[in-house]
Structure 1
Amino acid sequence: MNLSNLQPATGATRNEKRIGRGTGSGRGGTSTRGHKGAKSRSGYSKKSGFEGGQMPLQRRVPKFGFKNINRVEYKAINLDVLAALTESGTATLDAAFFVTAGLASKNAKIKVLGRGEVTKALEVHAHAFSKSAVEAIEKAGGKAVTL
């Protein structure tokens, strides 16, 4: 056996139907397309979402709500997470620290939330703080610095 005499197994292939080659072939005339209508014409391609002239689903279903273009997305970080990270001894937590710790991406805005407790005096730099987080940080003798 070599490349010049390779062929499919017997019965694995069939001859293609030769459509539109005269009435004697049994597939002449309308060439299996039926009579009239868009699908019988050449160049027909169904547009996505087209339902034969019926009002399509995406136009029947109403729109609702809106997207606020001024919304600011924050990456939330709680005090219990900060407490766990600072057991090793870091006192100043800034954006670069959060990125290296894997808590936020480089361009993310960070908001510190008040779940958990802080026992150490920390200087936390973030874009936003909840009131309870600021109180807890300052009660422990630290500073909450808004960027």
Structure 2
Amino acid sequence: MLVELVKVAKFPWSPWLAQVRTSFGGTAVRWCGDQAAQPGKYHVEWTVDEDIVWGRNARPADGAGPGVRPGGHCVVLRGRLNLTDNGAAVLDFDGSQILLDLAGPLPEGTDGTWVELHIEREKIALHPYEL
């Protein structure tokens, strides 16, 4: 996914964080790239390092379409949830696929629906890559 990196910063209580913008929102998340990265456009892979628990950090989305925004101490990701044959889940996030670890089964009928994930910003990471 192509994002616009606004800045990379480090605070004493957190890992390196990147302030990023997309065409559907922006937020700050953990940055796994060069700490001296300059503002600009970067291709990134998103990862979520938190188990998904329906009703706790995952719920039906209000509306359709991808989204990303700050939510207090969390980041809110909105995407289409798809279940795999082996019991895992993938969030389709504007064409980018984010593999999710499920802590338990999801309710019937959630496959293919728009969901919101509320994840601590330190548990969402951006990994820049070159094309």
User: Would you say same fold, with TM above 0.5?
Assistant: no
TM-score, with length taken from structure 1? 0.21
Greater helix fraction, Structure 1 or Structure 2 = 1
Greater Rg, structure 1 or structure 2?
A: 1
Larger relative contact order (CA 8 Å, sep ≥ 6): 2
TM-score, with length taken from structure 2? 0.23
